[in-house]
Structure 1
Amino acid sequence: MDASRAARYSTRSHGIVAVMRLSIWPGAGQPYDAILETARHGEETGWDAVYIADHFMPNAGPGVDVRRPVLEATALVAALGAAVPRVRIGTLVLGNTYRHPAVVANLAATLDRITGGRFVLGVGAGWQVNEHEQYGIELPPTKQLLDRFVEALQVLHGLLRSPVTNFDGAYYRITEAVNEPKPVQEPLPILIGAKGEKRMLGVVARYADLWNAWGTPELIAHKMKVLDDHCARIGRDPSEIDRTAQALTVVDAEVPDMGDRPVIGGSRARLADTIAEYQAIGLDELIVPDALLGTGADRLRAMDTILSLAR
């Protein structure tokens, strides 16, 4: 990890997190003005980053209106990067099946230029079935999906970090490929969203600068130990990988049942305790989705409360 990246992104010192970063995740299924308001408020009040998910429609399920509008992630990140000048801007995460990794590398370098070196390239293997079905995008079986993702990560590393890249894989082939201009950051940080302990956390150990997963402190602590074990097997210092996590967050309200999605908060005291638990396990960055924070002024007040409890 170079000095500039360490200064900007890493909060680790000998495995201990000095100050856990706090970032906001506005849902892309709302008007751009609302997303921009959230991002600007986060910037003005001391939040560290704004993340955007990569989906084209809501995930199909009981009671879900899949026709609800959703804004495209890369265009949204570019707009926020130009309009909000301090915080990091990241994708959480780009689905690999939607774009060729060489195109993603070019996109990422451009976004890092737009933001003046504040972009975080979050990537994942891809998963949402109804998007693939409606748009005619192949969603292969799991092994092939993950094999393809590993190849994509090799392409991304090459094009973002080397002058010229050649790669001849089962799914991707690039020949004497260039990607100019390069990102401002050296290297541009790659975040991998992953939860699978047998293979995917091994992929994180090999290719990620940041790791992300959903989970309560107990679950994230367990996954972090698995990630450390994968790092030990390949001889990588686990402190080189920042650990980020999120859970749906409730402020001053009853905690709803959100199925398999983790939910934290309720009372301020309970939320403060949980935030402290994340920091105690060594989490580098807690990402807060805005889905349960209300709208308008209520959302901004909830953000202020969360920030005060985290600091």
Structure 2
Amino acid sequence: MLITGLAGLVVAIVLVIALTRSDPPAPEARPSFDGDRALALAAEQVAFGPRIPGMPAHDSTRAWIVAQLRARGARVAELPVSVPHPREAGRTMEGTNIFASFDTTAQRRVLLAAHWDTRAVADNDPDPTKRFEPVLGANDGASGVAVLLEMARLLSENPAPVGVDLVFFDLEDMGEPGFGEDSSAVAYALGSAAFVRQHPGYRPAYGILLDMIGDRSLRIPKEGYSMQAAPAVVEMVWSAAARVGATAFAPETGAPIYDDHIAFLQNGIPMIDLIQTPFPDSWHTTSDTMDRLSAASLAQVGRTLVEVLWGIEAERATS
């Protein structure tokens, strides 16, 4: 991410977003998101090592994510990504997006997403001698994936009143300094941009992207581009957060972030980015390790998503 300005699996839907009513269903209608389980899922990813495209840990993690999803009964597709290098003729960057669907017959669909790759160089590390070391990505990568995998468990055990798709984007964190100003620099969010190009008929009602949502001092403002292009979705999610007491969701607008939601917004799909800003000091450093994560922070985000799917979407379905 950067601060700046299927077919075949699902059917196309109309872009209609129903906002909340003031009388949510009884809390017992919601499944219980387990923050400790999500934290353990993050630790399993980190144990593979840095998930850098082309490296063995990347392949092992892809297989592990797919196995986790299939064990939960999801319909899973592994979608290859091949992106030409902007500066090196003949060279491509290769990755895999992972698409998982629950209730594939539902016309109305909600997209939940995160990136699963990690950065090859800790170029923001305060120690210059460590800036060419890889990033473990406990927060920047594993945290969002962990929440999605715990949501997969809930979806398998408690069908939601809406179709839900989980997408795990690859090639998110390969961006180079100068991206946005230098056309020869490698861009961020390559996997999500490829996904949108490859599947123009995929039209979820809205999407929610998770990125760096596990820090012990979690604070998520309303990301700038999300507020510009999908304010109704932002307000719906913040309403859900208020219902469940998720105080990490700050009431003010934050910085605009170039992230995996941008390609969807550019394609007319209202997708928002849940991301901590300012970025935590572990961002793109060798200190992005498990000790920086909190089960309570992961649970705040997870409980909010539960309220969106089993609370707000249930209200829309019965209104």
TM-score range relative to shorter protein: 0.3 to 0.5
TM-score (norm 2): 0.34
Which structure shows the bigger proportion of residues in helix conformation? 1
Structure with bigger RCO (C-alpha 8 Å, 6+ apart): 2
